[in-house]
Amino acid sequence: MNREKDIIGFACAYTPLPLIHAAGFAPYRILPNVDCPDQAGRLMHDNLCPHVKRVLDRAMSGTIPELKGMVFMNSCDSMRRLYDAWKAVKPDMNSVLVDLPPVATHASIGFFRDELERLSRTIEQWGGKAIDDASLARSIGLYNRVSSLFTALRGKAGRSELMGGSTALQEAYNRASTSPPEEGIASLEAILDEGADIKEGEPGVPVYLFGNVLPEPEAFALFESCGAHIVSDDLCTGSRLFAAMETGGGDILLALARGILGRPSCARTFSAERPGGLGDDVAEGAINAGARGVIGYTAKFCDPYIARMPGVWDALKKEGIPFLLLEGDCTLRSIGQQRTRIEAFIEMLR
């Protein structure tokens, strides 16, 4: 990646990347799929989210780039505890916890807007440029461009024309989440310029994939080798991170807050007017994508998903959509053990 810019780390798809970029920093996602020793257990219980523990493992083992600071989102209990533990293992590093409302009401969007303003002041103190409306609008524009390129790339993957299939798509997500948007755009345009990869033989079974943290490209290769064709995804290490947002006129921080809280949501964000809506959303996503089945992948011990999963089962059952739920530690070493279950599920869908 471009090392001309100082880097700010993040670990959650709700992180306001345009704000970090507008301050002159390169946002860099600390992904959990890097080999390093398990050490987080010294501070955290075994039953804590493996994503959070792997991110902390990386900090403890020094397998992260030199960071100017780390931005945490208060998206769930585990993320809040990650912030606490990070401060203990990296006491000299800049870090900030941004509060994140669980619902997107008028008042909570305003609250989140103020949190974004606090974040912008904080990262300015870390040596960033003063963020003005024009620079923030430019950064939002760049990320919207990344989003639209990913939409095109997903379309290509959905038509089975993307060289490398969903594995390549995930590699692109990982690259884009660890690079400044300018690099992400160049890389995505290059991929889109590549010729179509028309495969011969029987196409895979169309499957909708949802869940939280699954950045391991080889996991997607595993799905495909089991006969699945991922036609659409809703993962926080996938499509959810790069969702386009409107800026419009007026208060741009408010627009950013509204855009982030209004994008396709992780289970931790919901509508009080539509409780249990996650199940309906997954079913709708699967139907719209023309999927014959749904695979859910969640990191173990993820309370927001654990609690909502019965509702997802229920909604998919009502629509007659078969569902396979996998739990793991965000890496291939656990998902590889699920091969037989994935193969049996795909066989059932044929």
Partner 1 sequence: MMKAYFTDMEAGIVKAISEGNSSHRKLYTLELARLGKRLYSGADSIAWCGITAPFDLLNAMGVTSCFVEFIGAMLALTGSVGPFIEETDHIGYSADACSYHRSVSGAAIRGMMPAPNFLIGTTNPCSGGLAVLENLARRFERELFVLHIPQDDSAGNVRFLADQMREMAAFVSRITGRALDDTALRKSVENSNRACGVIKEIFELAGRVPSPVASRDLSNFGIVMPLFFGSGQAIAIAEAYRDEFTKRIDAGADGKPGRKFRLLWIQNRIQFRHGLEKMLEEEYGASIISDELNDITWDPIDPENPFEGFARRAISIPFNGTIERRIGHLKKLAWQYRIDGAINPCNWGCRQGTGARGLMENGLREIGVPVLNLEVDCVDSRKFAEGQMRTRLEAFMEMLDGREPLRG
Contact positions toward partner 1, by CB under 8 A? 42-45, 47-49, 52, 74, 76-78, 80-81, 83-85, 87-88, 97, 99, 101-103, 107-108, 111, 114, 267-268, 270, 272, 275-276, 300-301, 303-304, 306-314, 325, 327
Is 294 in contact with 324 (CB distance < 8 Å)? yes
Q: How far is the CB of 225 from partner 1 (least distance, A)?
A: 27
Q: How far is the CB of 329 from partner 1 (least distance, A)?
A: 13
Which CB atom, from 47 or from 340, has the smaller least distance to partner 1?
A: 47
Q: Both ends of the chain: CA-CA distance in Å? A: 42
- Going through the chain in order, the beta strands assigned E by DSSP cover 7-10, 26-29, 69-74, 95-99, 205-211, 228-234, 293-299, 323-328
Which CB atom, from 141 or from 310, has the smaller least distance to partner 1?
A: 310
Measured CA to CA, the distance from residue 27 to residue 38 in angstroms comes to 25
Which CB atom, from 10 or from 83, has the smaller least distance to partner 1?
A: 83
Quick one: which of 271, 348, 280, 344 has its CA closest to 314? Answer: 280
Q: How far is the CB of 14 from partner 1 (least distance, A)?
A: 14
Q: How far is the CB of 323 from partner 1 (least distance, A)?
A: 9
Which CB atom, from 140 or from 278, has the smaller least distance to partner 1?
A: 278
Q: How far is the CB of 43 from partner 1 (least distance, A)?
A: 4
Q: Write a three-state SS string for 167-205.
A: HHHHHHHHHHHCCCHHHHHHHHHHHHHCCCCCCCCCCCE
Give the chain's largest Cα–Cα span: 57
Is 219 in contact with 238 (CB distance < 8 Å)? no
- The CA–CA distances, whole Å, from 127 to 49, 134, 145, 294 equal 32, 19, 27, 45
Q: How far is the CB of 4 from partner 1 (least distance, A)?
A: 34
Handedness of CA 181, 235, 321, 304 (dihedral sign): negative
Which CB atom, from 183 or from 314, has the smaller least distance to partner 1?
A: 314
Which CB atom, from 191 or from 315, has the smaller least distance to partner 1?
A: 315
What the block records as the tokens of 26 is 């390169």
Q: How far is the CB of 166 from partner 1 (least distance, A)?
A: 26
Which CB atom, from 176 or from 302, has the smaller least distance to partner 1?
A: 302
